[in-house]
Structure 1
Amino acid sequence: MRTISQVVDDGVATPEIEETFGKIKDALNAPFTPNFFKVWAVSHESLKGIWPVMNHILTSGRVGRRLKEMIFVAISSLKECHYCEAAHHAFCLNIGIPKEQIESLIQNHGIESGDPKEKAAIDFAVRLAKNSHASSEQDFQALRGLGFDDEEIMEIIAMSGMAVFYNHLANATKINIDSGFTKILAGK
């Protein structure tokens, strides 16, 4: 019996899909197209919707990719999405986030030391991933007090929701962790 993850190995990539894969690699600064996107090649219409969301929320905006990747790792660990946790752990390593901070994101869904602004944003995003009703005016005031403006706070909320959404997609499709991510995590 075929499993969902075999779709990655058995899927046919049309020239249009290959072009999309190239855009994904470039935007993510990845040496390969992650299996997360390859599995969606069987539903190009879905891929055409899924990719732009990640591209805009993760790689664009005023909140830096460093913080967004840390949010992604913390929420992926919380939601037990092993694929997203591994992928974004590898991205965190590639952009220079210290291993101790990554381990804290995985074990505690937050960081214990480091920039208080990053800690507050991660804590807020993780709390929203647990319960989207958990935001309050006090959260906005606290984040503003640390230097975030309203646009950046909305990006943090979008990042939290996007991480939950992508965790759902990865868990539901049982995607195999890419060997490229495994090598990065092993320090190779």
Structure 2
Amino acid sequence: MSRITLIDPAKATGRTSEQLAQIKGAFGMVPNMFKAAANSEAALTSMWGAFGALGAGRLGAKLGEQIAVAIADRNNCNYCLAAHTGLGRKAGATANEMSEAQAGRSADPRTAAALTFVLAVIDARAGIETADVEALRAAGFDDEEVVEIVAHIALNLFTNYLNVALDVPVDFPGVRLTRAAAA
């Protein structure tokens, strides 16, 4: 049970109501995570805006979702793992690609480099080495893409923390955390 009220979209007003309508249009429903964020118009605006901006970024939806599941697993976020696994499949990733990404791996060298970087940033709480960024460049990422990866990390930390801290009920098909099972 959620530790905060999940805002009923039918009762929302103003900008919050408008954004929840956009979210429903995008997902066909309003996921519980957005209902939780809707307690703060500023938080909802930040979250929804970041999803839109990064969704239109250079990394592409598939890599964005692979990054999201790696971070969700690392942070024991059942909600984000479930949501982003499904979204990754819709973005063209296979079930195996999403499972591998969840563990921070990929058969694609470029994706593998991105996931290695992401987990290094998470594990070191951003205290990475120059060599970590250079490994991304060696895999073909330019500075714009490096910054975009960091933006994906920040957005996913926000959503992971929101969902875990506030115990937001998962409303997507469940996916088993691997890090939690290994701990």
CA distance in 2 between counterparts of 1:116 and 1:78 reads 21
Do the aligned partners of residues 20 and 9 (structure 1) sit closer, same or farther apart at CA in structure 2, a change above 3 Å counting?
closer
TM-score normalised according to structure 1 size: 0.81
Q: In 2, distance between residues paired with 1:101 and 1:176? A: 26
Gaps of 5+ in 1: none
Could you tell me whether the CA contact under 8 Å between 1:126 and 1:160 is conserved in 2?
no
Q: Specify which of 46, 50, 68 is matched with residue 72 of structure 1.
A: 68
Identical residues among aligned pairs (%): 31
Report what 1:16 is aligned to. Answer: 15
> Which 5+ residue runs of structure 2 have no aligned equivalent?
176-183
Structure 1 residue aligned with 2:111: 118
Off by >6 Å, runs of 4+ in structure 1: none
Give the TM-score normalised by structure 2.
Answer: 0.83
TM superposition shift of 1:150: 0.6
1:93-128 deviations in whole A, cap 9, x for unaligned?
11221111212233x2x1242x10011001101111
Match of 1:62 in 2: 58
Instruction: Render the CA deviation track for 1:132-158: whole Å, top value 9, x for unaligned.
Output: 344222222222222111110111112
Q: CA distance change for structure 1 residues 55 and 165 in 2, over 3 Å: closer, same or farther? A: same
Kindly state the Cα deviation for residue 165 of structure 1 after the two structures are TM-superposed. 1.9
The answer to whether the Cα contact below 8 Å between 1:12 and 1:41 also exists between their aligned partners in 2 is no
Aligned residues: 175
Question: Is residue 11–residue 39 contact of structure 1 (8 Å, CA) maintained in 2?
Answer: no
> Which structure has the higher relative contact order (CA within 8 Å, separation 6+)?
2
More helix by share: 1
